């Protein structure tokens, strides 16, 4: 039991989990009506898009890459999905069309970074312009109403007794867990830690980068569909702010921006912490003019705290069981 607790407390995700729980508990006192199943479901519904983006970005970063195009991918998926739905196309088909465009952007990122060895930051800046420009071509101004049945299904429906929005988070995580259990999961960490050594060890680093960008695009598309269920319409700029929020969440979640460290679970906790902050600022009744600044300051404090924790690597030391002590279950 103690060995399990030691592994948990030493995990890179543990500090982010503690931070998230602390803010959640604080919100139960600060925000009226925050407790209860309905409030928790509402929180998950709203947080799911950012969680999906953060999981997506964390895998790219673990593999030694970077991606600032995810917010723009959200925009193009959202407007594509809503445009098709408004024309009478079935929800599933419209979602596939949006996912297809997202995968095309991810494919472009993967080829440019993985096979042409271009700088990931500059490459994804360029594809951000491509995706956001395409979104504006499809829908120049916010419009559309989406599918009412899907909006209800997303906000209050369930699959096998599990809320729909939770499934939107579970899908990227399940795919990651499957990858992590294969040699490819080890390759991602190896390439992120030291790409040159990984290459000389026979690991196809170009394929690793290519795959992580495809994975990120797919997970981002899932998040974009979730966001469409939240806002109920199309907006060509709706996701642009999510890219930087995802970066902050990844750092708070304990993922090393230098690559090769951390895991998407911690990134997920970081994203939830980020979203909980908005409730905290609202519950503290901070003047509307200063809410954005207050949120940014708290986020910055969270990033700084996680950086200090990572630097000094504090470990919760559990007392060792002495010989003759009774076994504890």
Q: pLDDT (tens digit, 9 = 90+) per residue, 212-248?
A: 999 999 999 999 999 999 999 999 999 999 999 999 8
Ramachandran category for residue 116: left, alpha or beta (phi over 0 → left; psi -120 to 50 → alpha): alpha
The pLDDT score that the predictor gives to residue 7 is 75
Confirm whether pTM is higher than 0.95: no
The rounded distance, in Å, linking the Cα atoms of 102 and 303 is 29
The answer to whether the beta carbons of residues 256 and 65 sit under 8 Å apart is no
Q: pLDDT (tens digit, 9 = 90+) per residue, 277-325?
A: 888 887 777 776 777 777 778 777 877 777 777 666 544 444 444 444 4
Task: Name the residue among 8, 4, 13, 7 with its Cα closest to residue 310.
Answer: 13
The answer to whether the beta carbons of residues 56 and 220 sit under 8 Å apart is yes
Q: pLDDT (tens digit, 9 = 90+) per residue, 117-143?
A: 999 999 999 999 999 999 999 999 999
The helix/strand count (H/E) of the chain reads as 14, 2
Parse the chain into domains and list their residue ranges: 2-312
* 159 backbone dihedrals φ, ψ, rounded to 5°: -125, 120
In the chain, the DSSP E strands lie at: 158-159, 162-163
Task: Name the residue among 176, 81, 204 with its Cα closest to residue 138.
Answer: 81
The rounded distance, in Å, linking the Cα atoms of 195 and 192 is 6
Beta-bridge mates of residue 159: 162
The answer to whether the beta carbons of residues 311 and 58 sit under 8 Å apart is no
Is the domain covering 2-312 a CATH 1.10.3470 domain?
Answer: yes
pLDDT at 8 over 90: no
Task: Name the residue among 75, 20, 55 with its Cα closest to residue 171.
Answer: 55
Q: pLDDT (tens digit, 9 = 90+) per residue, 175-222?
A: 999 999 999 999 999 999 999 999 999 999 999 999 999 999 999 999
């Amino acid at each position: 039991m103690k060995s399990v607790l030691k592994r948990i407390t030493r995990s890179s995700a543990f500090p982010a989990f503690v931070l998230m729980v602390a803010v959640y508990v604080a919100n139960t006192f600060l925000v009226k009506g925050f407790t209860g199943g309905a409030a928790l479901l509402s929180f998950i519904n709203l947080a799911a898009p950012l969680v999906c983006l953060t999981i997506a970005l964390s895998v790219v970063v673990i593999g030694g890459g970077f991606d600032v195009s995810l917010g723009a991918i959200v925009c193009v998926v959202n407007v594509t999905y809503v445009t098709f739905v408004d024309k009478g196309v079935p929800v599933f088909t419209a979602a596939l069309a949006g996912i297809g465009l997202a995968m095309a952007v991810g494919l472009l990122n993967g080829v440019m970074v993985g096979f042409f060895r271009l700088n990931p930051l500059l490459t994804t800046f360029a594809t951000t312009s491509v995706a956001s420009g395409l979104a504006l071509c499809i829908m120049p101004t916010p419009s559309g109403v989406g599918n009412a049945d899907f909006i209800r299904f997303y906000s209050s429906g369930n699959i096998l007794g599990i809320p729909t929005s939770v499934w939107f988070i579970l899908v990227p995580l399940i795919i990651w867990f499957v990858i992590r259990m294969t040699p490819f999961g080890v390759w991602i960490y190896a390439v992120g830690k030291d790409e040159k050594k990984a290459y000389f060890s026979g690991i196809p680093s170009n394929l690793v980068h290519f795959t992580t960008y495809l994975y990120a695009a797919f997970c981002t598309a899932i998040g974009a569909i979730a966001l469409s269920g939240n806002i109920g319409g199309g907006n060509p700029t709706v996701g642009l702010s999510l890219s930087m929020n995802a970066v902050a969440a990844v750092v708070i979640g304990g993922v090393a921006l230098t690559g090769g460290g951390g895991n998407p679970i911690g990134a997920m906790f970081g994203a939830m912490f980020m979203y909980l902050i908005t409730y905290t600022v609202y519950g503290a009744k901070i003047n509307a003019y200063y809410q954005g600044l207050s949120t940014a300051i708290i986020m910055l404090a969270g990033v700084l705290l996680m950086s200090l924790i990572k630097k000094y690597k504090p470990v919760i030391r559990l007392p060792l069981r002495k010989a003759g002590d009774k076994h504890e279950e």
